[in-house]
């Protein structure tokens, strides 16, 4: 079956609209990822600075070790929570990027 010029123009326009929407959504996701990383970096810096102040005021080696151990535990837990959140955002981004293609392919059937 041969397509007419109008049908080809319509399909071309739909493709352009599909890609524009996909890249717009992708930009929003990248902004969300950047904001998350910015918040995480700030939290990490604040936590490190507060821990350093505590370490400098430690009265004994045991107290310093306790402060450092607590810090290491909090940093690890925060890191794992952040990576879980980022993984979910990346998975959502991949799903959103695939939706226009899926819609286009279903239209060809």
Annotate the chain with DSSP letters as a single string.
-PPPHHHHHHHHHHHHHHHHHHHHHHHHHHHHHHHHHHHHHHHHHHHHHHHHHHHHT-SSHHHHHHHHHHHHHHHHHHHHHHHHHHHHHHHHHHHHHHHHHHHHHHHH-
Establish if 13 belongs to a structural domain. Answer: no
Establish if 15 belongs to a structural domain. Answer: no
What pLDDT band is residue 108 in, cutting at 50, 70 and 90? Answer: low
What pLDDT band is residue 23 in, cutting at 50, 70 and 90? Answer: low
Establish if 34 belongs to a structural domain. Answer: yes
The count of structural domains within the chain is: 1
What pLDDT band is residue 38 in, cutting at 50, 70 and 90? Answer: very high
pLDDT at 1 over 60: no
Establish if 76 belongs to a structural domain. Answer: yes
Establish if 16 belongs to a structural domain. Answer: no
- Average pLDDT (3-17) is 70
pLDDT at 74 over 90: yes
pLDDT at 67 over 70: yes
Establish if 68 belongs to a structural domain. Answer: yes
Q: Which structural domain, as residue segments, surrounds residue 58?
A: 26-108
């Amino acid at each position: 079956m041969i397509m007419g010029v109008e049908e080809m123009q319509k399909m071309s326009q739909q493709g352009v609209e599909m890609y524009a929407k996909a890249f717009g959504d992708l930009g929003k996701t990248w902004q969300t990822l950047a904001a998350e990383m910015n918040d995480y970096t700030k939290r990490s810096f604040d936590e490190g600075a507060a821990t350093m102040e505590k370490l400098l005021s430690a009265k004994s080696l045991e107290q310093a070790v306790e402060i450092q151990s607590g810090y290491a535990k909090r940093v690890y837990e925060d890191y794992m929570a952040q990576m879980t959140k980022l993984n979910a955002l990346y998975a959502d981004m991949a799903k959103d990027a695939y939706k226009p293609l899926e819609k286009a392919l279903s239209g060809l059937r």
